[in-house]
A = this chain, B = another copy of it.
Amino acid sequence: MAGELPLKAYRMGIDTHQEPVVYMRKDCAVCRAEGYTANTRLQIKAGECTLIATLNTVAEEILPRGSIGFSDSAWEFLDLKPGTPVLVHHAPEVHSLSALRKKIYGNSLNTLEISGIIHDIGRRLYSDIEIAGFLTACAGGRLSSAETIALTTAMVNNGNRLHWPEYERIFDKHCIGGLPGNRTTPIVVAIASAAGLIIPKTSSRAITSPAGTADTMEVLTNVDLPLLHLRNVITRTGACLAAGGEVGLSPTDDLLIRIERALNLDSEGQLVASVLSKKIAAGSTHILIDMPIGPTAKVRDREQAERLAALFQSVARGLGVTVRCVMTDGSEAIGWGIGPAEEARDVLSVLRNARDAPSDLTERALYLASQLLGMARDISDRQALQEAREILASGRAWQQFRKICEAQGGLKQIPTAGHHIELRSQRHGRLRSMDNRRLAHLAKVAGAPSSPEAGLRLRVKVGEMIHEHQPLATLYAETPGELAYAREYFHQNRDLFDVAVEELPVRE
């Protein structure tokens, strides 16, 4: 059959994100004979590798005859070279889709069915719309606690797993729904490991924000560590502050998160499975969950936080790990800096006990570190906070942080931006609020996080009296063009700093 005629692989140079797409000419004999049309799901074989991809048909002139085009992610998944012969067939039936339909029709799934779904998603056998169907069918409380346990287990098993036979307890922390500038992790890890806890922390890079913890740490040290190096750092310091991308922990989670984000869905079962699968795959046994509560945070109110905490506890019990959930104030940005370098400056100023250290960041980090200490030892909250404060004040946290950075490859100098400008108020009045979403966008327009030194340093706090021309923030960029572009954005969005004009005597 025509399906057995190999076609030559051709890289289209199109990034479709993670959804694998192949491109075939409309006049291709294989397409016509097999009835392949746009959106047909095809099985592509190159050597021993197999992939299911969605077909887009293309005009003759953009693809050589006898070739089949690949999107970037499909090309990389199959590890192709130009001209590699590939075979094309109709996609075979994906057996776990019958379990998916069962769930969609309102039935619950057993462990085997859930592991089949996760396994097939991991092998890229699901289209984006099938993943969307799975996430939707599990949302709205339709994933029971037992199903969430099965889902978490399947996600853990469907990727790499770290083992730490030399340690009895492995600690970790996770924050649900980041707050701008809320860069507590490096400080918490330094304090907790200085106190003797084992806390091998891997973090993600920014996806939609101007900086992730990995971006901030990358300003200070090397964060891309092969597994062997990572183990070595932990053996020497009891901790690490590395980027998590390379280790392949719960990779299915990344596939699900992409579609959850596109659907703007925060299903509680998926959230718990996502967080715990990453942590358990990393070998953690004791996990602190920070839940900032606020009107623009992921967790809106106490009731939701408590429901989520209960689900975390029940799934953690099912999986044999210890979880502590804490609720924190999620109403305001934390610290002065936004963007990798500026956030790194805040982190160092706290660790060094600098006089201008942002006290909100200090207190938040101390609180979270004390909660970790409380999980590790049979001490009161007050004793734990006291111990965390002593470790920070005595310089032991700073010493420990430098030790971790040295083990990872050395503490680097924070870079200074080539260009900066003061953003000044046009009015006199009281600063009533700042729009965190647009502040984050401003830092991104200036180039963060791909330019690590780009970003903002806030100069005022909510509630302060501001006078005309007073600097509200300093804006940093790598190039004059990016600076000008960000300044232009600020000029069009001056109201992101809400300065209320005070009643003044009439001048005339």
Contacts and interface: CB of A to CB of B under 8 A. Distances in A.
Contact of A16 (B2, B12, B56, B101): B56
A128 B21 CA distance: 15
Contacts of A259: 129
A139 B105 contact: yes
A398 interface: no
A14 interface: yes
B133 A14 contact: no
A104 B14 contact: no
Interface string A37-75: 111010000000000000011110110000000010000
A212 to B, nearest CB: 14
A272 B135 CA distance: 25
A427 B483 CA distance: 82
A140 B105 contact: yes
Interface string A129-162: 1111101110111100000000000000000000
Contacts of A34: 445
A17 interface: yes
Contacts of A364: none
Interface string A1-38: 11000000000111111010001001000000111011
Nearest to A139: B104
Contact of A56 (B14, B62, B135, B139): B14
Interface centre among A130, A262, A488 (most CB of B within 10 A): A262
Nearest to A141: B106
A289 to B, nearest CB: 22
A59 B133 CA distance: 31
Contacts of A132: 128-130, 132-133, 136
B130 A59 contact: no
B263 A61 contact: no
Contacts of A258: 39
A413 interface: no
A127 interface: yes
A17 B1 contact: no
Interface centre among A57, A128, A129, A141 (most CB of B within 10 A): A129
Given A13-B58, A139-B105, A263 B488 contact: no
Contact of A33 (B130, B135, B140, B445): B445
A485 B139 contact: no
A94 to B, nearest CB: 10
A1 B489 contact: yes
A403 interface: no
A13 B62 contact: yes
A97 interface: yes
B104 A57 contact: no
Interface string A487-502: 0110010000000000
Contacts of A489: 1
State the 6 A-B residue pairs at the shortest beta-carbon distance, nearest first: A13-B59, A106-B140, A129-B132, A105-B140, A136-B136, A132-B132
5 contacts: A14-B23, A15-B56, A16-B39, A35-B444, A137-B140
